[in-house]
Structure 1
Amino acid sequence: MLFTHDTEIALQAAAALVNTATAPDSVDTPEALDRFVEEWGWTGQRRHDDKELQQVRRLRPRLRDIWVGTEQEIVDGVNALLVDARALPQLVRHDQYDWHLHATSSEAPLAERMAVEAAMALVDVVRAGEISRLRTCAAQDCDDVLIDLSRNRSKRYCDGGCGNRVAAAAYRARQQEGTGS
């Protein structure tokens, strides 16, 4: 394992959140946000309203800009997220999770908790010198972000099926070449 379990989950959740903005937007209603929150296991206070939805949706471009930035842009973006939330790291244990870091209270707004969790995970990426693991999908028609947690740093495609689609297109092209058509 490259990072701690909670860091890996936070990075994957941050990438998934950024990727919800890809057309069509998959977090476009409070109910869709509820499904996303449940899928990624977010805990803490929720409002389940349009204000909460808009706050989360405004977070996505900030995270995308951090994800695709230079090292200094990543550091500046992470620091801004932590300052904006007045983050105060503390060890916590809850539900099925053993000791891990939270830097906001469970009563903080959802978007703030999401921002800080992503920022704390990105701190680990920067400190480990692993920024090159923050990537965008290699498919020409996809702008999704991904975190490469593979041992050999070989992940090139997002989890949206792009790898299979690109491989199938390459196979069809080779077959077409072989038939001379």
Structure 2
Amino acid sequence: MPLSHDMVCSLAAAADLVNSAPETGGPDWLTDVAALHAYLERHQVSGLGSVTEADLAEVRALRATFQEVFAAPDAGAAVTLLNVLLERTRIAARLTEHDGWPLHVHYFAPGASAAEHLAADCGVALAHLLVENEWERLRTCAAPDCDKVFVDESRNRSRVYCDSRTCGNRMHVAAYRARRRA
């Protein structure tokens, strides 16, 4: 299934949010309102006013929920988690064309907090992935010292590392060196 531009952006935002947690092997970079603001700008989350400490706490809680979805043992468990999340979210759908992209649907929560906006947008993207039976595209990096999550957008679903330049390269070099020693 080819993923739409907005779906790719929303799934990337969800994975990036999960990867901001120290449980993924890196530092917790979502520590203050400025970091949250930078995250929202990086992922072009629009329709929000200023963000507050309360927004930061809510987004950090949402991060834990998305982390559970990525780590769910099967699609059924992910469906249960997403249904609970989406039931708590006011979702509005809006048809839009922008930035040269054809007509598509944006999901958002009008007048909502940053966390509710992300829950609507990213939650619906994750739900569409499940509906299309593409659950296996939600992955955790195969490098033994990395627990970052990612969405495998490859055509043949063969991606195993969160980043081919870091984890992938490191693992390939280690395998090469092991072969050379043998």
Task: Confirm or deny a common fold (TM above 0.5).
Answer: yes
Q: Is the 8 A contact 1:45 1:106 kept in 2?
A: no
Q: Report the structure number with the largest CA radius of gyration.
A: 1
**1:80-111, CA deviations, whole angstroms, 9 ceiling, x for partnerless residues?**
12110132333244566553323333421111
Q: Which residue of 2 aligns with 1:111?
A: 115
1:167 and 2:167 are equivalent in the alignment: no
Deviates more, 1:13-22 or 1:154-163: 154-163
Q: Which residue of 1 aligns with 2:48?
A: 45
1:68 and 2:32 are equivalent in the alignment: no
Q: Which amino acid aligns with 2:170?
A: R
Q: Which residue of 2 aligns with 1:26?
A: 29
For these two proteins, the number of residue pairs brought into alignment is: 177
Deviates more, 1:102-111 or 1:137-146: 102-111
Q: Which residue of 1 aligns with 2:60?
A: 57
Compute the TM-score of the two structures, normalised by the length of structure 1.
Answer: 0.88
Structure 1 residue 124: Cα displacement: 1.4
1:20 counterpart SS class: coil
Structure 1 residue 13: Cα displacement: 1.2
Question: Alpha carbons of 1:41 and 1:14: their partners in 2 closer, same or farther (altered >3 Å)?
Answer: same
Structure 2: tracts of 5 or more residues without a match:
none
Structure 1 residue 46: Cα displacement: 3.1
Q: Which residue of 2 aligns with 1:11?
A: 11
Question: Alpha carbons of 1:105 and 1:94: their partners in 2 closer, same or farther (altered >3 Å)?
Answer: farther
Q: Is the 8 A contact 1:30 1:53 kept in 2?
A: yes
Task: Report the aligned-residue RMSD.
Answer: 2.0
Q: Is the 8 A contact 2:89 2:109 kept in 1?
A: no
Structure 1: tracts of 5 or more residues without a match:
none
Compute the TM-score of the two structures, normalised by the length of structure 2.
Answer: 0.87
Structure 1 residue 134: Cα displacement: 0.8
